[in-house]
């Protein structure tokens, strides 16, 4: 089983980083293929916390090669800081462990500034972006104005492309948002410094590198960022991110064919969270919502924003299973449900008085639905040290079986806490 994709099946923050970290010990390669520093993958090893934004979560395993591939928008300033922090913590000691694709899109300060200026200007219609410049950077790629990572190594070409890319942004910053324009000369000098820091990681042909690995039967893990419902085309548009977050994006963003992928692992929390604006049918504004947020430490790893919390939405999860082709599920943070008298699962929606189990994809329709719940008894025991299904209380086991039966996909991994060892492997995946 050499190629496996790990994706989030909700609105992000499902715990993909932990799953990828655990799988990485058995992987030869981990490939990040979309998104940028809007992602925040939290890893806790021996009680020590590492938050990664751009470097693939496989970095904690010295024998695993990490590739940042073409589909990523690469904030080079942030990446340099992230690499320095990893090195200061004794990680990423070997430069050959990280490869950055020459064809990844470079994200610079003006993308961030434009993203933030737009959000500020939007007043009541904010998307609630992370302010990391993701939208403007992908716009550059689509409008053929992007600077690619490989361009950084040809200063003349870079200067020319920088001027072209900044021209319109400066017009917007100065005249629409009444802000200071970008100082191109200063930025150019800064870029040269960052480029030297990143030079050791340059990969001129990342699709070829990945193909060679697959051909040699190496284990390659494709690490998704954000979640299915934030997908640019299939998410809750316009309250989505600017990249494709579904499993197909692993192929597009890294340059491999769909027939190369063997398994697609969907990561889902035992409840739901969302950061930023947009519809959220099972959202809770009561003490259960507070319990989930507090016990689950539901604050954004990138922005520190409080996450909105609600019950697990199986209608949305079944949609995620369909559009990603999910073959196996990992159920995360089930320990957070400990102490709740009852647990609810949204099994259907009511739309205009009619019951349906079909997730609506038309923008706006999701805000009209009313969730229909199945309620099951909870448990009070602390389950954070459970090592096998048998260690779980009967009610927790019933809940897991019920979720698996409702969605028709095996739950092969159950996470009962943030640590690597707080994981129940129902079935080996890799
Ligand atoms: P952007 O990706 O910064 O443009 O933000 C667009 C939407 O995606 C906002 O609702 C963000 O809160 C959300 N978002 C982006 N990245 C993440 C993530 O890693 N986890 C959860 N939500 C995210």
| Residue 327 contacts residue 263 (beta carbons within 8 Å) | yes
Residue 399: phi, psi to the nearest 5? -60, -45
Count of C-beta atoms within a 10 Å radius of residue 166: 20
C-alpha R_g of the chain: 22
The CA-atom distances, in angstroms, between 169 and each of 122, 125, 228 are: 17, 22, 30
**Is residue 414 in contact with ligand 1, taking CB distance under 6 Å?**
no
**Is residue 230 in contact with ligand 1, taking CB distance under 6 Å?**
yes
| Residue 35 contacts residue 52 (beta carbons within 8 Å) | no
- 53: phi > 0 → left, psi -120 to 50 → alpha, else beta; which? alpha
| Residue 234 contacts residue 11 (beta carbons within 8 Å) | no
- Annotated catalytic residues are 13, 41
Closest CA to 330 of 424, 246, 231, 419: 424
* Start-end of CATH 3.90.170.10 domains in the chain: 269-425
* Start-end of CATH 3.40.440.10 domains in the chain: 3-104+201-260
- CATH for the 269-425 domain, from 3.40.50.1240, 3.90.170.10, 3.30.70.3000, 3.40.470.10: 3.90.170.10
| Domain 106-198, CATH | 1.10.300.10
**Is residue 276 in contact with ligand 1, taking CB distance under 6 Å?**
yes
Ligand 1 centroid from CA 251, angstroms: 21
**Is residue 293 in contact with ligand 1, taking CB distance under 6 Å?**
no
Residues in contact with 57: Cβ distance below 8 Å, sequence separation at least 6, in sequence order: 16, 17, 20, 21, 24, 30, 41, 43, 223
Measured over the CA atoms of residue 103, residue 248, residue 222 and residue 45, the dihedral's sign is positive
Exposed, middle or buried by CB within 10 Å (0-12, 13-18, 19+), for 185?
exposed
* Start-end of CATH 1.10.300.10 domains in the chain: 106-198
**Is residue 129 in contact with ligand 1, taking CB distance under 6 Å?**
yes
Residue 165: phi, psi to the nearest 5? -70, -35
- Closest ligand 1 atom to Cα of 8: 20
Ligand 1 centroid from CA 155, angstroms: 33
Tell me, what's the pLDDT at 21? 85
Q: Please tell me the residue having the least CA distance from ligand 1 atom 19.
A: 39
Angstrom distance (rounded) from CA 217 to CA 210: 11
Say if residue 238 is preceded by a cis peptide, omega within 30 of 0. Answer: yes
Residues in contact with 41: Cβ distance below 8 Å, sequence separation at least 6, in sequence order: 16, 17, 20, 51, 52, 53, 57, 223, 225, 301
What does the chain come to in residues? 430
Residues in contact with 141: Cβ distance below 8 Å, sequence separation at least 6, in sequence order: 73, 105
Q: Please tell me the residue having the least CA distance from ligand 1 atom 11.
A: 129
**Is residue 242 in contact with ligand 1, taking CB distance under 6 Å?**
yes
Angstrom distance (rounded) from CA 59 to CA 25: 10
3-104+201-260, which class in CATH?
Answer: alpha beta
Mutate which of 129, 231, 245 for ligand 1? The one with the most ligand atoms within 8 Å of its CB, which is 129
pLDDT digits (tens, 9 = 90+) for 153-190: 999 999 999 998 899 999 999 999 999 999 999 999 99
Ligand 1 centroid from CA 237, angstroms: 12
Ligand 1 centroid from CA 129, angstroms: 6
**Is residue 17 in contact with ligand 1, taking CB distance under 6 Å?**
no
Q: Which residues of the chain have pLDDT under 70?
A: 1
Q: Please tell me the residue having the least CA distance from ligand 1 atom 5.
A: 129
Angstrom distance (rounded) from CA 383 to CA 380: 9
Ligand 1 centroid from CA 276, angstroms: 7
The 3-state secondary structure of 367-428, one letter per residue:
HHCEEEEEEEECCCCCCCCCCCHHHCCHHHHHHHHHHHHHHCCCEEEEECCCECCCEEECCC
């Amino acid at each position: 089983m050499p190629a496996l994709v790990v994706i989030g099946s909700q609105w992000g923050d499902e715990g993909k980083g932990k799953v990828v970290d655990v799988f990485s010990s058995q992987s030869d390669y981990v490939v990040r293929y979309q998104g940028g520093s809007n992602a925040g993958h939290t890893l806790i090893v021996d009680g020590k916390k590492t938050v990664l934004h751009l470097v693939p979560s496989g970095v904690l395993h010295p024998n695993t090669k990490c590739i940042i591939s073409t589909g990523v928008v690469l904030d080079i300033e942030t990446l340099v800081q992230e690499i320095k922090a990893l090195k200061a913590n004794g990680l990423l000691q070997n430069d050959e462990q990280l490869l950055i694709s020459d064809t990844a899109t470079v994200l610079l300060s003006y993308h961030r500034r434009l993203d933030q200026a737009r959000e500020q200007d939007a007043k009541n219609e904010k998307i609630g972006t992370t302010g990391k410049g993701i939208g403007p950077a992908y716009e550059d790629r689509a409008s053929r104005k992007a600077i690619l990572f490989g361009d950084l190594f040809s200063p003349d070409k870079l200067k020319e492309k920088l001027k072209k890319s900044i021209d319109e942004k400066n017009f917007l910053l100065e005249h629409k948002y009444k802000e200071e324009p970008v100082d191109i000369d200063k930025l150019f000098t800064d870029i040269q410094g960052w480029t030297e820091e990143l030079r050791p990681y340059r990969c001129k042909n990342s699709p070829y590198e990945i193909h060679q690995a697959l051909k040699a039967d190496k284990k390659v893990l494709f690490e998704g960022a954000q979640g299915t419902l934030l997908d640019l085309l299939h998410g809750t548009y316009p309250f989505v991110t600017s990249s494709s977050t579904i499993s197909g994006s692993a192929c597009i963003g890294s340059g491999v064919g769909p027939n190369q992928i063997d398994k697609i692992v969907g990561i889902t929390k035992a409840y739901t969270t969302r950061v930023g604006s947009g519809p959220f049918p099972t959202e809770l504004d009561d003490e259960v919502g507070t319990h989930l947020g507090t016990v689950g430490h539901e604050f954004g790893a990138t922005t520190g924003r409080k996450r909105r919390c609600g019950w697990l939405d199986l209608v949305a999860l079944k949609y995620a299973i369909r559009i990603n082709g999910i073959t196996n599920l990992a159920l995360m943070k089930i320990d957070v449900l400990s102490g709740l008298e009852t647990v609810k699962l949204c099994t259907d929606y009511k739309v205009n008085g009619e019951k349906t189990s079909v997730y609506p994809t038309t923008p706006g329709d999701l805000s009209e639905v009313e969730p229909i719940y199945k309620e099951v008894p909870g448990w009070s025991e602390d389950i954070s040290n459970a090592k096998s299904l048998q260690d779980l209380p009967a009610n927790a086991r019933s809940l897991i079986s019920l979720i698996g039966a409702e969605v028709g996909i095996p739950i092969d991994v159950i996470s009962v806490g943030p640590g690597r060892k707080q994981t129940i492997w129902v079935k080996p995946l890799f």
